[in-house]
Amino acid sequence: MRNTGALASDVRRRIEAQLADDVPWNRVLNSICTEPHPLAVEMASRAAHTNLGDVRIFRGTKRIEREVVRLLLELLGNPGGSGSLVSGGTEANLIAMLVARETARARGRLTERPEVVVSSTVHFSFTKVFHLLGLTPVVVPVDDDLRMPAKETARRIGEHTVAVVATAGSSEFGVVDAVDEIGPVVAGRGVHLHVDAATGGFIIPFARELGHDLPQFDFTVEGVDSITIDPHKYGLANVPAGAVLFRGAEDAGRFSVDSFFVDTPVHHTLLGTRPGAAAVSVYAVLEHLGRDGFRDITRTNFEVTRYLVDSLRAAGYELFAEPQLNIVVVRLPHAARISQLLESRGWIVSTSKRFGETLRLVVTRHVTRETVDEFLPALQQACQD
């Protein structure tokens, strides 16, 4: 650290110079995060000093967090449930698996080698979670539609199983597992069913309202015990804002750590000091946009996705699968080289090799028809070079 501090104007200038080197959103076609809503940014900055780890001081901020959890539970069809705001999908999935393990322990069915049934496309955050919690994954291969098959899932449940994880909006393909089929086959087996809707949680409810044919994935489905939903993805809130929600009013308390400070309430999250700014920014967006606002954003999102799909097909590209949500995957030989060329020209896309070489394009709020019109010639050029 320097001995004498620099002028604020100098520090500002240096930070601005680094930020200017970040890729502008309208060239980003690989991210499931997007530019936060301006009201979220404004209110998060207003609450930058708040800490949800100390709710004796930040009691007003805590009320906002409670209200956000209530609004999210209501969105997912379970006003009587419980939950917490966390740093993102990874922490939410970690807490859900901790609760699943503790539930198995309480039911006397925790064995020496606890297992979790997951699909082959489950998010890699679970690799971290399983490593940290000593859980063993039992992997079900996805079907031809890249979905976790309900019957195969049920067959994998055994004496060691503590949880099943389904995904509502995979980050790689935007595929929604048939949670409405998986729920009933898991229900009654004494096993926790978690739905990772980190990506799809803020799209699927509104897309269904708009008439898109997507499976129900929330607490209205029999058997669903917990859900991850991330406001810092399609919820337009500032990073870091995730949420983990539970069916039962007491379930969030199954992971509960007492502080040694008198009067400090127990923690149900991994982080101790937690940003109140995140709760405030989520609250601002939910209240300001309401269901109508999110439906409008989702409608536009699906229109731009359709425009991208039609434009790609018209230009002769073959899609890997028909997109269910807003992620478009294109079969493309030499995808990794083309992605590098695109990056050298300012465009960020991602690629995958899992099912042959593919290019993955994500249509979030910052991706417009104009973005698509500018991107396609750049892609065609990169394919020729």
H/E segment holding residue 96: helix 89-106
Exactly one of 53, 149, 242, 276 binds ligand PLP (CB under 6 A); which one? 242
Q: What's 268-317 look like in SS3?
A: CCCCCCCEHHHHHHHHHHHHHHHHHHHHHHHHHHHHHHHHHHHHHHHCCC
Exactly one of 27, 62, 123, 360 binds ligand PLP (CB under 6 A); which one? 123
Nearer to ligand PLP, 230 or 357 (CB): 230
- Contact status: 241 vs ligand PLP (CB under 6 A): no
Query: Binding pattern to ligand PLP, positions 143-182, x when CB under 6 A?
Result: ------------------------x---x-----------
User: CA-to-CA distance for 147 and 63, rounded, in angstroms?
Assistant: 39
All residues at 6 or more sequence positions from 125 whose CB lies less than 8 Å from its CB, including other chains: 89, 90, 93, 94
Minimal distance, residue 321 CB to ligand PLP, in Å: 17
Nearer to ligand PLP, 157 or 166 (CB): 166
Exactly one of 54, 177, 196, 357 binds ligand PLP (CB under 6 A); which one? 196
Query: Binding pattern to ligand PLP, positions 286-325, x when CB under 6 A?
Result: ----------------------------------------
| Total of residues contacting ligand PLP (CB under 6 A) | 14
All residues at 6 or more sequence positions from 267 whose CB lies less than 8 Å from its CB, including other chains: 53, 256, 257, 259
Nearer to ligand PLP, 198 or 278 (CB): 198
Q: Residue 213: exposed, middle, or buried by beta-carbon count in 10 A (0-12, 13-18, 19+)?
A: exposed
Q: Residues 127, 146: contact at Cβ < 8 Å?
A: no
Q: Looking at residues 59 to 98 of the shown chain, list those that interact with ligand PLP (rule: CB under 6 A).
A: 88-90, 93
Nearer to ligand PLP, 54 or 281 (CB): 281
Point out which residues pair with 357 in neighbouring strands.
none
> What values do phi and psi take at 157, rounded to 5?
-75, 125
Point out which residues pair with 192 in neighbouring strands.
163
User: CA-to-CA distance for 273 and 240, rounded, in angstroms?
Assistant: 13
Exactly one of 27, 28, 30, 32 binds ligand PLP (CB under 6 A); which one? 32
Nearer to ligand PLP, 32 or 330 (CB): 32
What is the contact surface with ligand PLP in residues (CB under 6 A)? 32, 88-90, 93, 123, 125, 167, 171, 196, 198-199, 230, 242
